Amino acid sequence: MDSRETALTGLFVALTAVSAQIQIPLGPVPFTLQVLTVLLSGLLLGSKLGFLCQAIYLLAGAIGFPVFAGFTGGFAHLYGPTGGYLLAFPVASFVAGLFAERSEKASLWVLGAMLGIGVVYFLGWLWLGLYLGGDFKKALFIGVLPFIPLDTAKAILAVGIARAVKRTLPWL
């Protein structure tokens, strides 16, 4: 990894931490801008660096840096109600990045972003359902369905931003 990749990875770790602080509490799973940043990291940095920066973000939070929502940190967050969502971030970034690497078509970038969100929803729903004692229906109603419209908008916004940045900074 060269110095440019190191700097960009660090930048997206920091952006993910900042985006976690922009939140609206909606029960055990808050609405944040993290998904936007997770998708942007994959779309702009590619699958491997996107995965890496989100994995570093999780490691920083797990060891106690206050990068999770509400300026919190600690390993317990990975076991709490949002643990599945958090653990899905590297995979979601990888998926979005994979589509961006393989095609120049905006429609495929949107598909990659939406599949990335699907990964977040699936792992988050599964973990939340287990956390709620096996109540997967409740997990669906409090941890997935309320977020679909806003996350769809975030996916489209992420693609628009990423494509504009790529046009402006082709070396990225």
Label residue 163 by pLDDT band (50, 70, 90).
very high
Number of domains in the chain: 1
Residues whose CB falls within 8 Å of the CB of residue 158, separated by 6 or more in sequence, listed in order: 36, 39, 40, 43, 96, 113
pLDDT digits (tens, 9 = 90+) for 101-132: 999 999 999 999 999 999 999 999 999 999 99
State the pLDDT at residue 87.
98
Higher-pLDDT residue of 70, 124: 124
State the pLDDT at residue 14.
98
Label residue 97 by pLDDT band (50, 70, 90).
very high
Q: Where are the beta strands (DSSP E) in the chain?
A: 23-24, 31-32
Question: Can you give the three-state secondary structure of 28-76, one letter per residue?
Answer: CCCEECHHHHHHHHHHHHCHHHHHHHHHHHHHHHHCCCCCECCCECCHH
Quick one: what percent of the chain has pLDDT higher than 70? 100
pLDDT digits (tens, 9 = 90+) for 19-37: 999 988 777 777 889 999 9
For the whole prediction, is pTM greater than 0.85?
A: yes
State the pLDDT at residue 30.
78
- Terminal CA-CA length for the chain: 14
State the pLDDT at residue 107.
94
Q: Chain centroid to CA 35: how far?
A: 4
Burial class of residue 95 (count of CB atoms within 10 Å of its CB; 0-12, 13-18, 19+): buried
State the pLDDT at residue 1.
83
State the pLDDT at residue 23.
86
Which range of residues forms the domain containing residue 82? 3-168
| Separation of alpha carbons 117 and 13, rounded Å | 18
21-25, 63-67, 139-143, range with the lowest pLDDT:
21-25
Give me the CATH number covering residue 85: 1.10.1760.20
How far are the Cα atoms of 28, 55, 94, 95 from residue 25, in angstroms, in the given order? 8, 24, 27, 27
| Separation of alpha carbons 131 and 147, rounded Å | 19
